[in-house]
């Protein structure tokens, strides 16, 4: 079974507005030859387009993106490429933001400060269909998938998305 997994290529889309960070992520992922970065995007709109076009198995997604924030990007990607698994890779540790991110259907959340030691285990977990949270946000209630919690996550996501758009002054937030 393990040999079969190695023969299956996992196509990865890396989304972050900083080229140096995308390069660091590629270097970390190189230790697993079956994980191939097939595309990169530097903003949310580009990420949605590439996800729809390529249908990668895995998307590593930042929250603080230009044009379309990561939470809204994730929501749109889930509509256009529902089989893609999403891990947020962000420096943001605000628990409402983490909940909003996970409320989009993402399976993982890794803080950039934890990525050196936690990105590979996060990818392994998420590709295996399990959730993964950075050690710096663990211990909070993110794993309850009841309908009540899901509804709450949705409300938080909507509020946070509007708040973030207002703070960034982006008029592209509602662009379809």
pLDDT value at residue 107: 96
Pairing between β-strand 58-61 and β-strand 35-41 as defined by DSSP bridges: unpaired
Q: Domains (ranges, CATH) in the chain? A: 2-135+142-168 (3.40.50.2300)
3-state SS, residue 2: helix
| pTM, to two decimals | 0.76
| Token pair 């893609």 in the structure block, residue | 84
* Beta strand extents in the chain (DSSP E only): 10-15, 35-41, 58-61, 85-90, 108-111, 132-133
pLDDT value at residue 152: 33
Please give the Cα distance from 44 to 60 (Å, whole number).
12
User: CB burial class (10 A; 0-12, 13-18, 19+) of residue 141?
Assistant: exposed
pLDDT value at residue 153: 34
User: CB burial class (10 A; 0-12, 13-18, 19+) of residue 173?
Assistant: middle
User: Which positions of the chain have pLDDT values less than 70?
Assistant: 1-7, 138-176
pLDDT value at residue 140: 54
42-88 pLDDT, tens digit per residue, is 999 999 999 999 999 999 999 999 999 999 999 999 999 999 999 99
Instruction: Kindly state the tokens that stand for 29.
Output: 């992922």
pLDDT value at residue 136: 80
């Amino acid at each position: 079974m393990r040999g079969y997994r190695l023969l299956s290529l996992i196509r990865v889309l890396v989304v972050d507005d900083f080229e140096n960070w995308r390069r660091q992520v590629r270097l970390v992922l190189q230790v697993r030859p079956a994980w191939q970065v097939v595309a990169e995007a530097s903003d949310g709109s580009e990420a949605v387009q590439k996800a729809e076009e390529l249908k990668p198995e895995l998307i590593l997604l930042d929250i603080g993106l230009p044009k379309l924030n990561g939470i809204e990007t994730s929501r749109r990607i889930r509509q256009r490429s529902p089989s893609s698994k999403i891990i947020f890779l962000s420096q943001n540790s605000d628990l409402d933001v983490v909940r909003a991110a996970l409320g989009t259907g993402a399976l993982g959340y890794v803080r950039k400060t934890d990525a050196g030691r936690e990105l590979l285990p996060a990818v392994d977990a998420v590709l295996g269909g399990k959730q993964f949270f950075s050690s710096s946000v663990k211990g909070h209630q993110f794993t309850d998938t009841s309908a009540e919690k899901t509804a709450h996550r949705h409300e938080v996501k909507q509020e946070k998305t509007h708040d973030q758009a207002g703070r960034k002054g982006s008029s592209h937030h509602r662009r379809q």
